[in-house]
Amino acid sequence: MSWSFDSHIHLSDPVYFSEINFILAQMEFLKLKACCVSMNVENSLATLSLSKKSNLVLPFIGIHPECANDDLEKITNLIELNQNNISGIGEIGLDPTYCKNNDDTKRQIQVFESLLSSAEKFHKPVSIHSRKSLDDVFEIMTSYDTQHALLHWFDGSKKQLQKAMDMGFFVSFGPVMIYANDKQTLLSKADESKILVETDGPVRFSRCFEMKYAQISFIPSVIFSASKILEKTFDDMSSLLEENTKRFLGI
């Protein structure tokens, strides 16, 4: 039986603290592994701590664009000190939603580029936030390695998806794909070798999920949905996703 991966989840978020032992046991039972991404220095430390509790937690540390004013030097030092312990760098990227002025925009770019440089230096994959900023991310990434870069929660146009494929990015789709026709269409047009799945927990989902915050246990449902869209069996879809995720992680 293959292992399944949640390629992007904030499993070290405080919302999961009270039930983390149950979640880890559930992951073992369901054969699920989590690429646990971080928001800032404090959350990165929590991610590292959680990864010591279970080898099913694959730690990604970094600074989310919402937290771009956090201590960049501390996070780059943390990456260097833990280069042999971390699985990747993330969540990093750009998002104009969190920019009030040009200085905020410049700071986001500075943090993003610095952490991309760290990823290249230590040969780590990156999990990229690109909401409302895909074209800017594409431009910056022309100077960096895209072969182990994930555009998480891909939400671009068909043209932008094709550019992502041409540049060698991985793209991930989450629970919203189960009920959103536009996401189903994007999945159907992506290079099958570049598709990953995620939950982005603890974000909440509507429709059949009744606005509950995401659990890693949603992943089998996402895989099932993807298998129907791509006309594959569940087992074949699971095997494809496992292979893709291992290539993304470089393992």
CA pair distance 66, 143, nearest whole angstrom: 23
207: pLDDT strictly greater than 90: no
Q: What is the pLDDT of residue 210?
A: 80
CA dist., res. 129 & res. 242, Å (int): 22
80-136, pLDDT tens digit by residue?
999 999 999 999 999 999 999 999 999 999 999 999 999 999 999 999 999 999 999
**pLDDT(17) > 80:** yes
Give the alpha-carbon dihedral of 114, 117, 155, 37, to 10 degrees: -80
SS3 assignment, position 58: strand
- Please tell me the total number of residues recorded for the chain in this structure: 251
Look up residue 86 and give its two tokens: 């971390």
Q: Which amino acid is at 187?
A: L
Half-sphere exposure of 53 (CA within 13 A, CB side): 19
DSSP secondary structure, 115-131, as one string? HHHHHHHTT--EEEE-T
Assess contact for 10 and 37: CB atoms under 8 A.
yes
The CATH number of the domain covering residues in 4-249: 3.20.20.140
pTM, entire model: 0.97
Cβ contact 99:105 at 8 Å: yes
pLDDT digits (tens, 9 = 90+) for 23-80: 999 999 999 999 999 999 999 999 999 999 999 999 999 999 999 999 999 999 999 9
Instruction: Tell me the pLDDT tens digit for each residue of 143-191.
Output: 999 999 999 999 999 999 999 999 999 999 999 999 999 999 999 999 9
Residues near 129 by beta carbon (within 8 Å), at least 6 away in sequence: 64, 65, 91, 92, 93, 94, 95, 152, 153
Closest by alpha carbon to 122, among 62, 200, 38, 49?
62
For the cut 70, the answer to whether the pLDDT of residue 1 exceeds it is no
The residue-averaged pLDDT of 235-240 equals 97
Coil, strand or helix at 172? strand
H helical segments located in 39-101: 41-53, 72-81
Question: Cα separation of 149 and 152, whole Å?
Answer: 9
